[in-house]
Structure 1
Amino acid sequence: MTRTNDIILRTTTTLIAFILLGFSIYLFFAGHNAPGGGFIGGLMTAAAIILMYMAYGIKAMEKILPINFRYVIPVGLVIATGTGVGSFIFGQPFLTQTFAYFQLPILGKTELATALLFDLGVYLAVVGVTMTIILTIANDRE
């Protein structure tokens, strides 16, 4: 099998994946106050990773990113469920959220909400499910 010269694909993939990952982080953190959140942030992250898999190949990406995405799914589900159940500890209804303002070193006065933890769980679950589906389909074609 002859390998094509894919220098343009790899070069543009590096730039596009960087932009996608940056935008996914923005969407993740904006999710509890504006459109966005864990679901769309997770999809954008999965899209960036899939693009890198397409440009560099499965073997190279497994060396760079040695993650079994099947284990990411339950971690995300435990975090999301834990934030919902955690409200019971304080005598609040399921999935009740709270927030406070904190003085962070670089960011200054920043609002942090428990909804961010729930979004983290959703984010990890979506990345895990999406990558598992795509990689399973890709491995079946080999």
Structure 2
Amino acid sequence: MMKPGTLILHAAARFLVPLQLLFSVFLLLRGHNEPGGGFIAGLVASGAFALYLFTFGAAVTRDLMRVDPRNLIGIGLFFGMISVFPALFNGEPLLTAQWWPIMLPGGTEIKLSTPLIFDIGVYFAVFGSVMLMLIALTEAEEH
């Protein structure tokens, strides 16, 4: 069985995991306009959970995730697939980017887009794939 991490690692993980997850969301949201995007954001998020996994073990990490990594891969593929349909509905070529302005209270406008939907799909697929691999390797070592 894997030994639990040190006291310093426990304290660091509880502080760093939320920060890494926030940074991964930042990378995801800015990715279709600037460097970043779903792939690197998914890697950063899985890095956060890998730190938690190495600190507290596979069972605790599975409880924290609440969703099976295989389901995350499926959700990611679903988002990737639905991002192609808005262009088809508008009579444009497959994967042509579509933008929808949305007004928020206070007069702020944000734009939802198919590249963002695709990036969210990549984020979930990468995160699920890496976590599936890491948890499987950790559980194999624990048994």
Note whether the superposition's TM-score is higher than 0.5.
yes
Q: Which runs of structure 1 show a deviation greater than 3 angstroms over 4 or more consecutive aligned residues?
A: 1-5
1:74 is displaced (CA, Å) by 1.6
In the alignment, is the contact (CA less than 8 A) between 2:87 and 2:98 conserved in 1? no
Q: Deviations over 1:98-117 (max 9, x none)?
A: 21332223792222222111
The corresponding residue for 1:45 is: 45
Aligned match of 1:87:
87
Structure 1 partner of 2:64: 64
Q: How much identity, in percent, do the aligned residues show?
A: 31
Question: Which residue in the other structure is 2:127 paired with?
Answer: 127
What per-residue deviation string (whole Å, max 9, x for no partner) do you get for residues 75-102 of structure 1? 2112101212342122111111121332
| Equivalent-residue separation in structure 2 for 1:10 and 1:107 (angstroms) | 43
Matched length? 142
Match of 1:9 in 2: 9
Q: TM-score, normalised by structure 1?
A: 0.88
Code of the residue aligned with 1:23 in structure 2: it is F
SS at match of 2:67: coil
> Letter of the aligned partner of 1:99 in structure 2?
W
Whole-angstrom CA distance in 2 between matches of 1:97 and 1:2: 47
TM-score (norm 2): 0.88
What residue identity is the alignment partner of 2:69?
Answer: F
Partners in 2 of 1:33 and 1:121 — Cα distance?
A: 17
Q: Which amino acid letter does the alignment assign opposite residue 47 of structure 2?
A: A
Superposed CA RMSD in Å reads 2.1
CA distance in 2, matches of 1:98, 1:2: 48
Instruction: Say which is worse superposed, 17-26 or 80-89, in terms of deviation.
Output: 80-89
Where structure 1 has 5 or more consecutive residues not aligned to the other structure, the ranges are none
Task: In structure 1, give the amino acid aligned to 2:130.
Answer: T
